[in-house]
Amino acid sequence: MTRWLIILLGGLSAVAVLSAELEQRLFVAFAMTKAQQASSLPTDSGVFLQGHEAGQWSRVGPVIQAMNSITADPSNPSTLYIACGNGIVRSKDGGDSWRMVTGWRESDFTKIAVDPVNGDNVYAASVWGLSVSRDGGESWNPSNLGLEEKYCRSVIIDERNPKRLLLGTGAGIYESRNQGRSWNPIRKSSRSNILRLSRSEADSDLWIAGTEGEGAFLSRNDGRTWNPVAVKLKDRNLYGVALHASDARRMALGGWESGVWVSEDGGEIWIDRGAGLPSPNVTAVTFDPNVPDRLWVSTFEEGTYYSDDNGKIWVDGNLYGAYVLDLDSIPINQ
């Protein structure tokens, strides 16, 4: 699979094709909570990569509770970062060995983004705010100037301009144009907590956000303005948002007591595709990086499912009993 690399030339960005061949792999971060009784400890938890068969999952990273997400450095995919309750765990050898790169001041990370041009710049969202590393994860500092609420769950780097970041917070979506040094609201709302943010690979002006309490929003002008979509889900908590990698018209949403909804016309008409899933409580949604028309959803403790026909028929992808916290893909060396 080909991937894109941004090269900065005199302040302007250009796009070039990276020659190295990488493989995109689906990952899932989960805790096995279904068997959790009389204890606050899940029976198992961690980050797992999908094998070459759908529903084959193998662990990556240490065995530890509260593993929330994994990210690879786009310019050096052997470097992996795991966002977890203990902090951030990093591997520089493709997962053979791991090191806790944060200290006691940092905790409860949810999502990490690595600068695609300069891998030294790493941005980590946590419930305590954003932490930034300028040395590839060796040291971290908080960077919350301008945020109304520090609580944040999502951070994304604008691949066309890596100085620009979007952050999903407890008080809306914020933008930084100076590598996270300061923040300005681009969609402020004290009512909505931004649960998920995603940007289209097919149309880089297209963004989608899932919220707690206000449904979903789309931006078609690179984040400048945001409009609600899927009116039937307007007051729902949406934990899953997905944009198709090559067809900007295709997208999906999933949420609590909402099942999964899909659109094939760029978000104008939404169709309920929850039938066939064992639970209406969906915690994650994504398109498969290797089978582009395959849609994955995770239900709360009732398993992870995939569909090759945009949600008409669902196939069991295992993980029964899991509470999936993230379902996405990362590039890894073949």
Partner 1 sequence: MSPDTALVRFHILTGLMCWGMACLGAFASPPPAAPMSDAEFARLYRERCEYLIDQTVASTDPDDLTKGSSFTIAANLHRRTNLEWASKRLRLANDPPSGAMFWMHPMVLLMETGKGVLSDDDWGFIRELWRTYFPYRGDTENHWVMYYVSLYLAAEMFPYAGPEAWYNGKSSQEIMADAKAFILDWMRITTSYGQGEYDSPNYIEEYTRPMALLVGWAQDPELRLKGKMMMDYILLDYAVENLEGLYGGAHSRLYPRYLLQPGMTQAAGHGWLLFNQGEYRSNGGTLMIALSGYTPPPILFRIATDRDKAYVHRELKRTRWRFRHAGPDAFEVDGKSTIPVYKYSYVHPDYILGSSQGGLLQPIQQQTWSLVWREKDLEGKTNTMFGLQPYSSPIEGTMYFPSDWDTVTDLIARSKVDYDSPDKLEGGSPYEQVFQHQSSLIALYDIPEGTRFPLISTLFSRDIKQRIEDHSGWIFGQGGPLYIAYRPFAPGEWKPVDWTGLLQGGAGGWFSTGFKELSEGSQCLVSRSLKNGYILQVAPISAFDSYTEFQDTIRSLPIDFSLEPTPSVQFTGLDGLVLTARYGSPPTVAGKPVDYSKWELFDGPFAQADRKSQTLEMIYGQQRYFLDFKNGSAKTSIVTEP
281 binds partner 1, rule: CB under 8 A? yes
**Least distance from C-beta 323 to partner 1, angstroms?**
7
Would you say 138 or 316 has its CB closer to partner 1? 138
97 binds partner 1, rule: CB under 8 A? yes
d(CA 279, CA 65): 25
103 binds partner 1, rule: CB under 8 A? yes
Give yes or no for a contact between 303 and 278, defined as CB atoms under 8 angstroms apart.
yes
2 binds partner 1, rule: CB under 8 A? no
Give yes or no for a contact between 193 and 170, defined as CB atoms under 8 angstroms apart.
yes
**Least distance from C-beta 99 to partner 1, angstroms?**
3
Residue among 243, 239, 213, 242 at smallest CA distance from 228:
213
Q: What angle do CA 71, 75, 77 make, to 5 degrees?
A: 45
- Residues 175-204, interacting with partner 1 (CB under 8 A): 193, 195
Options 119, 142, 276, 280; binder of partner 1; rule CB under 8 A: 142
Would you say 19 or 40 has its CB closer to partner 1? 40
Residue among 49, 81, 87 at smallest CA distance from 65:
87
**Least distance from C-beta 124 to partner 1, angstroms?**
14
Residue among 258, 262, 196, 198 at smallest CA distance from 232:
258
Amino acid identity of residue 85, one-letter, is: G
| Six token digits for residue 329 | 């893909």
Strands 207-212 and 193-199, how do they pair?
Answer: antiparallel
278 binds partner 1, rule: CB under 8 A? no
Exposed/middle/buried for 169, CB within 10 Å: 0-12, 13-18, 19+? buried
Would you say 73 or 158 has its CB closer to partner 1? 73
Give yes or no for a contact between 98 and 57, defined as CB atoms under 8 angstroms apart.
no
Amino acid identity of residue 290, one-letter, is: N
Stretch touching partner 1 by CB under 8 A, among 81-89, 131-139, 156-164, 217-225 = 81-89
d(CA 213, CA 114): 29
237 binds partner 1, rule: CB under 8 A? yes
The CA R_g of the chain, rounded to the nearest whole Å, is 18
Stretch touching partner 1 by CB under 8 A, among 3-11, 18-26, 80-88, 289-297 = 80-88
- Residues 296-325, interacting with partner 1 (CB under 8 A): 300, 323
How far does the chain reach from its first CA to its final CA, in angstroms? 10
Number of residues that bind partner 1 (CB under 8 A): 43
Site string for partner 1, 238-277 (x = CB under 8 A): -x----------------xx--------------------
Count of CA atoms in the C-beta half-sphere (13 A) of 317: 31
149 binds partner 1, rule: CB under 8 A? yes
Options 36, 75, 118, 182; binder of partner 1; rule CB under 8 A: 36
- Binding residues for partner 1, rule: CB under 8 A, are 33, 36-40, 62-66, 85-87, 97-100, 103-104, 107-108, 110, 127-129, 142, 144, 149-151, 170, 193, 195, 212, 237, 239, 256-257, 281, 283, 300, 323
